[in-house]
Amino acid sequence: MALAAEIQDLFAQYDAAEVAARALVTEMNERVGTWRPSPDKWSVALCLDHIAATNRAYLEAMRAPLERSRVGGKLRRKPVLPGFFGRLFIKGVEPPVPKTLRIRAPKLIVPRPGVPLSEGIAQFLASQQEVCEVITKNADLDLASIHFRNPFIRGVSFTVASGLYIIVAHERRHLWQAGHIRDLAQQALSEPAA
Inside any domain, residue 194: no
Is the separation of the CB atoms in 139 and 66 below 8 Å? Answer: no
What is the per-residue burial (b if ≥16 Cβ within 10 Å, else e) of 69-83? Answer: beeeebebeeebbbb
Q: Helices (H), strands (E): how many in the chain?
A: 6, 2
Inside any domain, residue 152: yes
Inside any domain, residue 155: yes
Q: What's 16's domain CATH number?
A: 1.20.120.450
∠ CA 150-155-159, nearest 5°, is 45
Give the tens place of pLDDT for each residue, 19-32. Answer: 999 999 999 999 99
Q: How close are the terminal C-alpha atoms of the chain, in Å? A: 63
* Beta bridge mates, 148: 158
pLDDT at 193 exceeding the cut of 70 = no
Inside any domain, residue 53: yes
Phi, psi angle pair for 67, to nearest 5°: -65, -45
Inside any domain, residue 160: yes
pLDDT band per the 50, 70, 90 thresholds, residue 191 = low
Is the separation of the CB atoms in 83 and 144 below 8 Å? Answer: yes
pLDDT at 194 exceeding the cut of 60 = no
pLDDT at 1 exceeding the cut of 70 = no
Inside any domain, residue 193: no
Phi, psi angle pair for 113, to nearest 5°: -65, 145
Question: Which residue range forms the structural domain that includes residue 136?
Answer: 5-188
Residues above pLDDT 90, as percent of the chain: 82
Instruction: Work out how many domains the chain is built from and give that number.
Output: 1
pTM exceeds cut of 0.75:
yes
Highest mean pLDDT pick, 8-17, 70-79, 95-104: 8-17
Inside any domain, residue 10: yes
- Find all residues with CB under 8 Å of 13, minimum gap 6, and list them: 165, 168
Computed over every residue of the chain, the mean pLDDT equals 93
CA distance 94 to 98: 10
DSSP 75: B
Residue 97 has a pLDDT of: 77
